[in-house]
Amino acid sequence: MLEQMKGRYSVRKFKTDPIEEEKLMKILEAGRIAPTAKNSQPQRVYVVRDGELMKRLGDASPCLYGAPVVLVVAYEDSLVFHRADDYARNSGDQDASIVGTHMMLEAWSLGVGSCWVNMFDETVVRDALNLPESEHVVFLLPVGYPDMGPSARHDDRKPLEETTVFL
Ligand SMILES: Cc1cc2nc3c(=O)[nH]c(=O)nc-3n(C[C@H](O)[C@H](O)[C@H](O)COP(=O)(O)O)c2cc1C
């Protein structure tokens, strides 16, 4: 798994080839089985492939990179687990991010690239997908076959001792 993780990189140029249905379903399955707080499963994964909808998403973000599929990952606020002793703490972002990480890594294991995208206009995405007020978009995940190698930044990771404290 570590070798797979080291091999994965952010893809910012995709081939136009579609993703096979079987692979797409495996990617979505990896998200489905992700752990969530109290197993609340508040995630909502929107699979955008349609031309008109994709065009509208393109107005929301410059970071779709020509992907044939964009997964829009959101969570439904009413389903998010809140701790009784700390209601302010909301696990929705964490839940959605673990779902996304599962999908990103499963995609890579199938030869399908992706790029985690935080740069988007939420209002435009919400309008395009007609989302209810109660759903919050966390990130976009364009997915498809890579048409580029890793960027220089991919190997630029801090040494463990800079980010990890053994106590
Ligand atoms: C929370 C988050 C937000 C990101 N947002 C964007 C984005 O909006 N656009 C983009 O091109 N890449 C985005 N990235 C990708 C990172 O820039 C990339 O993962 C990082 O530079 C390391 O490169 P690598 O993924 O190739 O190893 C994001 C990554 C994360 C984890």
Q: How far is the CA of 75 from the centre of ligand 1 (A)?
A: 20
**pLDDT greater at residue 91 or residue 87:** 91
Q: How confident is the model at residue 22 (pLDDT cuts 50, 70, 90)?
A: very high
Measured CA to CA, the distance from residue 91 to residue 37 in angstroms comes to: 6
Percent share of the chain, pLDDT over 90:
92
Cα(91)–Cα(97) distance, integer angstroms: 10
CB of 114 closer than 8 Å to CB of 107: yes
Q: Which strands sit side by side in the sheet containing 43-48, from one edge to the other?
A: 43-48, 69-76, 135-144, 113-114
Residues in CB range of 26: below 8 A, 6 or more apart: 106, 110
pLDDT value of position 90:
86
**Other beta carbons less than 10 A from residue 105's beta carbon:** 17
Tokens linked to 111: 């030869």
Q: Domain total for the chain? A: 1
Structural domain span for residue 123: 2-163
Q: Give the CATH number, domain containing residue 26.
A: 3.40.109.10
Q: Given this model, what pLDDT does residue 24 score?
A: 98
53 vs 70: CA distance, rounded Å: 10
Looking at the predicted structure, is the pLDDT value of residue 91 above 80?
Answer: yes
- Arithmetic mean of pLDDT over the chain: 96
- Split at pLDDT 50, 70, 90, the class of 87 is confident
pLDDT exceeds 90 at position 153? no
Q: For a pocket test of ligand 1, which of 118, 137, 143, 157 has the largest count of ligand atoms closer than 8 A to its C-beta?
A: 118
Mean of pLDDT values over 86-105:
93
Which of these, 1, 13, 2, 8, lies nearest to 155 by C-alpha position? 8
**Distance of CA 33 from the midpoint of ligand 1 (Å):** 23
**pLDDT on residue 50:** 85
Amino acid at 154: H
pTM for this predicted structure: 0.97
What is the pLDDT confidence band of residue 113, given thresholds at 50, 70 and 90? very high
| Residue 12 CA to ligand 1 centre (angstroms) | 10
Q: What is the mean pLDDT of residues 87-98?
A: 91
